[in-house]
Chains A and B, each alone.
Chain A
């Protein structure tokens, strides 16, 4: 081969390579562009939770008429990881489109801000919103953005700007002075609370309201508290088992409902609401909650749905009020009372029988053949059947003591200070135990609509997380009464069977 020919081939190879490369690059750019339009996104994300709510939202209806497109929020800016993130989300979306049915997705849960932060990153927000302190900003906005900058990553933009991308009717991040005021009250009005003289189930009545609720008589007794040695899902804090003896008490059949909670809320006065209310004789002052910031019921409705997002302190104050207006001793259950009541005389992880492996979607067998969840579904509202929200008490069957939703629906405050090794520190046998010191957080029991089957176990323990649950409350000081970042916890009340009742 002559040198000339060789050079010519070299040249032609070079030219071909450049042309091919150019075509590829052009093609690549075309592909990137074509797969980054709103129309392309909406081909798969056609469900109303994506397209419609975006078109109803503030980033579509901007004051200037500029429309903010899908990829501008859901992918990082170009040059800051745009392409890699596009590839990753693209692959995930293709997998979802091929192997999953969007109708099965829990959209309520997926569109919660705590989930949305995974595909709406601050880097995209501040790419456009570069100035956190525009001249028009309010003093509240200034303080909130100073707080944001001080938190160094613990707070993300959309945790506060909650409906920035997609319109969402139930969710609110703003002062909510009117909360609960528009709920229509029924006509019947109780003038007196229930009178209880014997130890049997009764229906409590809230004076000056039409609200009543059922209380179950829980006989005293001795039981084994904690997780059994054969419970593979037991956490260290649930061990060792200990023998506990309890006096009899009454417990509310269901978690405290919105109509019960709002009776207190409307009968006690707070900032922004009228103080001109009918006071019960002999009571000249009660502290009530201030109005919430945000929407406590999440737009799910109130009525007999369990009340949520109140602080532990608010739950305690509710019990104090309830005691005053009913002339009884109401309080939060102790952790031991709670577990005793939840077990209803049973042993094992669930009062309705079975084990975690029977219900949980884990392990090869479960993955291949699925699990029979008909039993757990009839007793508990949890992640597999909750659709990401609390349900009405009628959705489940009661436990042997007649109590509903002890496991699942919403988790519940207990009186005890949370200590992880409480059972080691205070081994059995113990009588009416309650931990009153040794920490700052309180015990939370019972799992919620967000829990998996393992977290629903009757011995499973959890706790409040005060700072994290108030992280995005922009008020100064933060609310005493409402958590801004916790929507899965409520409470139920117990009433003591004490001299208070029997000597009347």
Chain B
């Protein structure tokens, strides 16, 4: 047994890159005077291979769950959705309508489950593939249950809201791997053709060694739901989950994990060892979360990642990543630049074409990354070459949590603290009543004991 297999320095390994259909580096340009590296890139498959029938269940039938089911059904032949679960009846009704309208699929009443135990009932159905798209708070318990039920899993990001939850995902991921199950997560940039192509360039040495990374998700305010007086506190919170820490992990975790994950991924699936963050709440309407964070992460080799995220109307928008290397720099999704700003190389196609003709051609050649995730997962199952992204997505989730806790407390946080932290947000009971034992106040940096 490799004793160090989970140590943060050795996370490299077993994930989905191979499944993306890349053949890798054809040859370094060592003999040429040109410093451009030669990369031969094969676009990821447009459709999953044919094979054993896949029968999927979905847990969490909101917007993303509905979308994920459609993405799954788009991925290939002989793919079927057979069961669904959600906490709320109205969500289930809308989900079934969408499914009927968009894909012509009708689910029988007895295969649709509503309530806090809906996930257990979905897992008890005859399925071999489960899509988990509930609010992040529920991910650890539902992923653990899915692994125990021996299901292949597609789960949305982030995968936890606290360190205890992230560790539970890591372990359940190991259990899934040891049983030959496949796990793909909704950090879809890892399945997006232009990121995959740039990753090959970076891996081949196009920008040299990693110097610094920058991750951004600055946007307008996200949605909120005002509580109906007839609702219990639990219902009001879950329906408004993107504004509550215990349900979403705050927006640095819930949304910005995408960009943080890209930097960690391009660095070689390495995770920061410490963080010092700022953050505050300026304009958020409901809940207990901040609406802006700025975090300086430090990797073990002394290099840094700066992460910025904001959800405030009328402010500058920027959702992207940027990596500085010793030889050049990259936007991770289109171009490699020399230090003088000239373009060294770029993706084989322009991801943002100007003409309709070019746009159509691009759509013929490449899938949406949301469909692509399911193609990769279905292929892994049908070809018998399991993928497992659980540990990567849990570690990037934990990176974001480490940044959040630093911003909340004003203290420096470390990876070791995260691996040993007892912070775990858990309501006393899961029912439609008052919600106890979870934080509800906005943390004050310098005063918050932990977070």
Report A's interface with B, CB cutoff 8 A: 122, 126, 130-135, 137, 139, 142-143, 145-147, 149-150, 152-153, 476-477
Q: Are B420 and A149 in contact (CB-based, < 8 A)?
A: no
Q: Within the complex, which residue of A130, A137, A146, A477 is in contact with B422, where a contact is CB–CB below 8 Å?
A: A477
Q: Are A150 and B3 in contact (CB-based, < 8 A)?
A: no
Q: Are B171 and A142 in contact (CB-based, < 8 A)?
A: yes
Chain A residues whose CB sits within 8 angstroms of the CB of B8 once the complex forms: 150
Q: Could you list 23 examples of A-B contacts with CB < 8 Å?
A: A122-B3, A126-B1, A126-B3, A130-B1, A131-B178, A133-B174, A133-B175, A133-B178, A135-B147, A135-B148, A142-B168, A142-B171, A145-B171, A146-B6, A147-B420, A149-B6, A149-B7, A150-B6, A150-B8, A150-B416, A476-B421, A476-B422, A477-B420
Q: Are B419 and A149 in contact (CB-based, < 8 A)?
A: no
Q: Within the complex, which residue of A131, A137, A143, A149 is in contact with B4, where a contact is CB–CB below 8 Å?
A: A149
CB proximity of B413 to chain A, nearest CB, Å: 15
Q: Are A147 and B419 in contact (CB-based, < 8 A)?
A: yes
Chain A residues whose CB sits within 8 angstroms of the CB of B148 once the complex forms: 135
Write out, one digit per residue, whether chain B residues 1-38 have a CB within 8 A of any chain A CB (1) or not (0). 10111111000000000000000000000000000000
CB proximity of A290 to chain B, nearest CB, Å: 14
Q: Are B168 and A139 in contact (CB-based, < 8 A)?
A: yes
Task: Name the CB-closest residue of A to B5.
Answer: A149
Q: Are B3 and A153 in contact (CB-based, < 8 A)?
A: yes
9 closest A-B pairs by beta carbon, nearest first, are: A142-B171, A476-B422, A149-B6, A133-B174, A126-B1, A133-B171, A133-B175, A131-B178, A476-B420
CB contact list, B148-206 vs A, under 8 A: 148, 164, 167-168, 170-171, 174-175, 178
CB proximity of A66 to chain B, nearest CB, Å: 20
Task: Name the CB-closest residue of B to A131.
Answer: B178
16 other contacts beyond A139-B168, A142-B167, A152-B3, with CB at 8 A cut-off? A122-B3, A126-B3, A131-B178, A133-B174, A133-B175, A134-B175, A137-B171, A142-B168, A142-B171, A145-B171, A149-B5, A149-B7, A150-B6, A153-B3, A476-B420, A477-B422
Cα A134 to Cα B171 in complex, Å, equals: 9
Chain B residues whose CB sits within 8 angstroms of the CB of A130 once the complex forms: 1
Chain B residues whose CB sits within 8 angstroms of the CB of A135 once the complex forms: 147-148, 175
Q: Are B170 and A146 in contact (CB-based, < 8 A)?
A: yes
Cα A31 to Cα B148 in complex, Å, equals: 46
Task: Name the CB-closest residue of B to A145.
Answer: B171
Chain B residues whose CB sits within 8 angstroms of the CB of A133 once the complex forms: 171, 174-175, 178
Q: Within the complex, which residue of B7, B147, B178, B422 is in contact with A150, where a contact is CB–CB below 8 Å?
A: B7
Cα A149 to Cα B174 in complex, Å, equals: 13
CB proximity of A11 to chain B, nearest CB, Å: 49
Chain B residues whose CB sits within 8 angstroms of the CB of A146 once the complex forms: 6, 167, 170-171, 419
CB proximity of A34 to chain B, nearest CB, Å: 31
Cα A365 to Cα B174 in complex, Å, equals: 60
Task: Name the CB-closest residue of A to B173.
Answer: A133
Chain A residues whose CB sits within 8 angstroms of the CB of B422 once the complex forms: 476-477
Chain A residues whose CB sits within 8 angstroms of the CB of B419 once the complex forms: 146-147, 150
Task: Name the CB-closest residue of A to B179.
Answer: A135
CB proximity of A143 to chain B, nearest CB, Å: 6
Chain B residues whose CB sits within 8 angstroms of the CB of A142 once the complex forms: 167-168, 171
Q: Are B167 and A149 in contact (CB-based, < 8 A)?
A: no
Chain B residues whose CB sits within 8 angstroms of the CB of A134 once the complex forms: 175
Cα A133 to Cα B422 in complex, Å, equals: 20
Chain B residues whose CB sits within 8 angstroms of the CB of A149 once the complex forms: 3-7
Cα A426 to Cα B42 in complex, Å, equals: 72
Write out, one digit per residue, whether chain B residues 399-422 have a CB within 8 A of any chain A CB (1) or not (0). 000000000000000001001111
Chain B residues whose CB sits within 8 angstroms of the CB of A477 once the complex forms: 420, 422
CB proximity of B450 to chain A, nearest CB, Å: 10
Cα A152 to Cα B2 in complex, Å, equals: 10
Chain A residues whose CB sits within 8 angstroms of the CB of B164 once the complex forms: 139
Q: Are B178 and A152 in contact (CB-based, < 8 A)?
A: no
Chain B residues whose CB sits within 8 angstroms of the CB of A122 once the complex forms: 3
Chain A residues whose CB sits within 8 angstroms of the CB of B421 once the complex forms: 476
Cα A168 to Cα B171 in complex, Å, equals: 31
Chain A residues whose CB sits within 8 angstroms of the CB of B167 once the complex forms: 142-143, 146
Chain A residues whose CB sits within 8 angstroms of the CB of B170 once the complex forms: 146
Cα A146 to Cα B168 in complex, Å, equals: 10
Task: Name the CB-closest residue of A to B9.
Answer: A152
Cα A107 to Cα B175 in complex, Å, equals: 40
Cα A97 to Cα B136 in complex, Å, equals: 63
Cα A153 to Cα B3 in complex, Å, equals: 8
CB proximity of B309 to chain A, nearest CB, Å: 28
Cα A153 to Cα B7 in complex, Å, equals: 12
CB proximity of B139 to chain A, nearest CB, Å: 15
Cα A133 to Cα B172 in complex, Å, equals: 8
From known contacts A147-B419, A476-B422, infer whether A152 and B4 are also in contact, taking CB-CB under 8 Å: yes
Chain B residues whose CB sits within 8 angstroms of the CB of A147 once the complex forms: 419-420
CB proximity of A434 to chain B, nearest CB, Å: 31
Which of A122, A145, A476 gathers the greatest number of chain B CB atoms within 10 Å? Answer: A476
CB proximity of B144 to chain A, nearest CB, Å: 9
CB contact list, B48-100 vs A, under 8 A: none
Cα A476 to Cα B168 in complex, Å, equals: 14
Cα A182 to Cα B121 in complex, Å, equals: 46
Chain B residues whose CB sits within 8 angstroms of the CB of A126 once the complex forms: 1, 3
Task: Name the CB-closest residue of B to A134.
Answer: B175
CB proximity of A203 to chain B, nearest CB, Å: 44
CB proximity of A378 to chain B, nearest CB, Å: 47
Which of A131, A146, A147, A152 gathers the greatest number of chain B CB atoms within 10 Å? Answer: A146
CB proximity of B264 to chain A, nearest CB, Å: 18
Cα A373 to Cα B416 in complex, Å, equals: 49
Task: Name the CB-closest residue of A to B8.
Answer: A150
CB proximity of A498 to chain B, nearest CB, Å: 36
Task: Name the CB-closest residue of A to B416.
Answer: A150
Chain B residues whose CB sits within 8 angstroms of the CB of A476 once the complex forms: 420-422
Chain B residues whose CB sits within 8 angstroms of the CB of A131 once the complex forms: 178
Which of B6, B164, B422 gathers the greatest number of chain A CB atoms within 10 Å? Answer: B6
CB proximity of A81 to chain B, nearest CB, Å: 16
Q: Are A152 and B171 in contact (CB-based, < 8 A)?
A: no
Task: Name the CB-closest residue of A to B1.
Answer: A126
Task: Name the CB-closest residue of B to A142.
Answer: B171
CB proximity of A479 to chain B, nearest CB, Å: 13
Chain A residues whose CB sits within 8 angstroms of the CB of B175 once the complex forms: 133-135
Cα A223 to Cα B4 in complex, Å, equals: 54
CB proximity of A320 to chain B, nearest CB, Å: 23
CB proximity of B397 to chain A, nearest CB, Å: 15
Chain A residues whose CB sits within 8 angstroms of the CB of B3 once the complex forms: 122, 126, 149, 152-153
CB proximity of A121 to chain B, nearest CB, Å: 12
Cα A152 to Cα B3 in complex, Å, equals: 7
Which of A133, A134, A143, A152 gathers the greatest number of chain B CB atoms within 10 Å? Answer: A133
Cα A132 to Cα B170 in complex, Å, equals: 12
CB proximity of B336 to chain A, nearest CB, Å: 35
Task: Name the CB-closest residue of B to A125.
Answer: B1
Chain A residues whose CB sits within 8 angstroms of the CB of B6 once the complex forms: 146, 149-150
Cα A149 to Cα B419 in complex, Å, equals: 11
CB proximity of A84 to chain B, nearest CB, Å: 21
Chain A residues whose CB sits within 8 angstroms of the CB of B4 once the complex forms: 149, 152
CB proximity of A208 to chain B, nearest CB, Å: 34
CB proximity of A54 to chain B, nearest CB, Å: 25
Chain A residues whose CB sits within 8 angstroms of the CB of B5 once the complex forms: 149
Cα A133 to Cα B170 in complex, Å, equals: 10
Chain A residues whose CB sits within 8 angstroms of the CB of B7 once the complex forms: 149-150, 152
CB proximity of B26 to chain A, nearest CB, Å: 37
Chain B residues whose CB sits within 8 angstroms of the CB of A137 once the complex forms: 171
